[in-house]
Structure 1
Amino acid sequence: MTAELTLNSTKPAPEPELDPQGRGKAERVTVFFFVLVPLLALLAAVPFAWGWGLTWTDIAIGAVFYVIGGLGITVGFHRHFTHGSFKANRPLRIALALAGSLAIEGGVIKWVADHRRHHKYSDHEGDPHSPWRFGDDWRSVAKGLFYAHMAWMFLSDEKTSPKRFAPDLLRDRDIVRIDRWFGAIVVFSLLAPAVIGGLVTMSWWGAFTAFFWGGLVRVALLHHVTWSVNSICHTIGEENFEVRDRSRNVWWLAIPSFGESWHNLHHADPTCARHGVLKGQIDISARAIWVFEKLGWASKVRWPNAERLAAKRVTG
């Protein structure tokens, strides 16, 4: 059965039978070379750049902006704006929209509209970034991974309608205003690390290295982690809860994605504020929401319901 048949059907197709020594292994090898090899190459460059092209200042600046932008995406754009996992007071709502925009993954309205459409048609016709749209042999999977990972953003002719998928955000004046400011926020996100680095080191070289590592590399890394949830977490991993698509849990992405890679539970219960619900599943985004709730900034948090989880749990 090909992915074209799956995507053109109105009902979810059954999971293909994967030979753990055959196609399943090929998929894992494809994922490794597609995502991990470039990342390992970047990490290998760090020792060569250390001391002259990379310093602790650059790492600190990049880490702070990575966390702010990353949580802005996971807690803000995703769990709050897209799925309504909790209510946020106005200052927190504005802060989350601004923080998510710093990640440079698109304006908040378009991001939310695309993701709501993804959930409506997940791994079926209409899904903007399913890795299974070309087939399930290893060549098709490799092509689908590239498409789901990033190519869909510039190769697809399909445009998600904000009026259909994000009408609530279009009625929110604060969010519309921030969405319109996205271009200026992009400039700030890229140049602020350079300004900070230059002021800390009092040098143009310090400004340049902070721009490179704290700006460009930080944005690229966050992008690939976010995109990996679209591609890798719909290709390989564990299924702990019953879903109608191929969303899976990928443990080694949990920390850099702030808990988003516990993707299987998310698709089983999209409005749940915590994605990592099983023992040992670290979910940094859920902890941030917990802190906001304790501070009184967030309310009506949709924490996991034991009965609902038990009903969806995969057994055997």
Structure 2
Amino acid sequence: MPMTIQPADTRPDEAEPLPLATLGGDRQGTLERVTLTLFIVAPFLALVAAVPVVWGWGVGVRDLVIMTVMYFLTCHGITVGFHRCFTHGSFKPNRPLKIALAIAGSLAIEGPLVRWVADHRKHHRFSDKEGDPHSPWRYGETVPALLKGLFWAHLGWMFDEEQTDQRKYAPDLIKDDDIRRISRQFALWTLVSLLIPPLVGGVLSWSWQGALTAFFWGSLVRMALLHHVTWSINSICHAVGRRPFRSRDRSGNVWWLAVLSCGESWHNLHHADPTSARHGVLKGQLDSSARIIRWFELAGWARDVRWPNRERVESRRAE
């Protein structure tokens, strides 16, 4: 009988604290800073620069609204649904919410639900050690090794022939008829996700041009941006960032990704306390996913929410 992996199997209480999560330990050289800056910032700058260039004929307010709505709908489907609910059991949804979250996460086009969860649970079990599916430290700490590792953690790992055993890491989801069916329908949700923007854009503009530009920005650009942000949690947030909490890996907090990642980039607390429904627990740390979970709880759609209290947070503080 396959072993059930509990969401809380990554308790850091007895782990020895690691150095600050930066390149080469506690210090960063100029070359390292330039390398990381280019890797992180260049894709975002290219996207921002494209908007004014094509404004008025290749993009308009309608396209950006469609892209933004689809982005945050699918992003929260991943963060609230795939991650905090299905992977870590941060709260228990009622059946309609469970189905809605499963579909919303599937619309992000990041792979079938069960495979996504299995991969992430395995990541937590071996975080930044041998067996981790996507650690940026896989090849070492030199600049060339880290560049190779960042690429691997960002997207290269998804092309690895080795597949996570779903029966071992996600047996609870396999037994759930609703989840299993939605996971198997991944191709359908991919098609739906790509068609919603052009359908809305075409209806609102009543033109093929409106449908085409909505497809480009609301489907293709939105998907690429969301994937890049999600993969940055695997790569960037395990290479740089502050580490105010004890964890047994190199997970760090990257503040400038907080809004786009819907709160996921407060990654150090997440690895210090994986089942917490809130990742941004310190003052000023925006966490839209936690806010949405709170709304679900107030509406009676979510129960047994694992909110962090002051004592729990302080017990995980780094010395």
Residue in 2 aligned with 1:120?
Answer: 125
8 Å CA contact retained: 1:65, 1:214: yes
**Which SS does the other structure have where 1:312 is aligned?**
coil
Structure 2 residue 58 is matched with structure 1 residue 53: yes
Superposition pairs for residues 22-61 of structure 1, below 5 Å? 22=29, 25-61=30-66
Q: So what's the TM-score if we normalise by structure 1?
A: 0.93
Aligned to 1:79: 84
How is 1:165-244 mapped onto 2 (pairs within 5 angstroms)?
Answer: 165-244=169-248
Q: Tell me the equivalent position of 1:18.
A: 25
The whole-number CA distance in structure 1 between the counterparts of 2:26 and 2:81 is: 39
Residue 18 of structure 1, CA deviation = 3.3
From 299, 304, 308, the equivalent of 1:304 is: 308
Whole-angstrom distance in 1 between the partners of 2:250 and 2:32 = 14
Query: Does residue 1:151 correspond to 2:185, yes or no?
Result: no
Q: Which amino acid aligns with 1:130?
A: S
Separation of aligned partners in 1, 2:202 and 2:98: 31
Letter aligned with residue 306 of structure 1:
R
- Note the 1:235-254 alignment, pairs <5 A: 235-254=239-258
Determine if the alignment matches structure 1 residue 97 to structure 2 residue 102: yes
- What is the alpha-carbon distance in structure 2 between the residues aligned to residue 207 and residue 113 of structure 1? 36
Say which of 292, 298, 313 aligns to 1:294: 298
Q: Is the 8 A contact 1:27 1:236 kept in 2?
A: no
Deviation at 1:158, TM superposition (A): 1.5
* CA distance 1:196–1:32, change in 2 (3 Å): same
| Higher helix residue share | 1
- 1:270 — aligned with what? 274
Identity %: 61
2:24, 2:142 within 8 Å by CA — same for their partners in 1? Answer: no
Q: Say yes or no: does 1:285 pair with 2:285.
A: no
Indicate if the aligned counterparts of 1:129 and 1:148 stay in contact, CA closer than 8 A.
yes
Amino acid in structure 2 at the alignment position of 1:264 = N
The separation in 1 between residues aligned to 2:69 and 2:179, in whole angstroms, is 24
Partners of 2:217 and 2:24 in 1: CA distance = 43
Tell me the SS of whatever aligns to 1:230.
helix
- The answer to whether the Cα contact below 8 Å between 1:149 and 1:228 also exists between their aligned partners in 2 is yes
Q: 1:182 to 1:29 in 2, by over 3 A?
A: same
- Give the letter aligned to residue 189 of structure 2: I
Question: 1:159 aligns to what SS in structure 2?
Answer: coil
Question: 2:279 touches 2:290 (CA, 8 Å); kept in 1?
Answer: yes
Distance 1:70 1:100 in 2: 7
Structure 2: give runs of 5+ residues left out of the alignment.
1-14
Higher RCO, Cα 8 Å, sep 6+ = 2
User: Would you say 1:62 and 2:67 are equivalent positions?
Assistant: yes
- Counterpart Cα distance in 2 of 1:21 and 1:128: 25
TM-score, normalized by length of structure 2? 0.92
Query: What is the root-mean-square deviation in Å for CA atoms of aligned residues?
Result: 1.5
The CA deviation string for residues 65-95 of structure 1, in whole angstroms up to 9 with x for no partner, is 1111000000000000000000100000000
Unaligned runs of 5+ in 1: 1-10
Q: Does the 8 A contact of 2:82 with 2:116 survive in 1?
A: yes
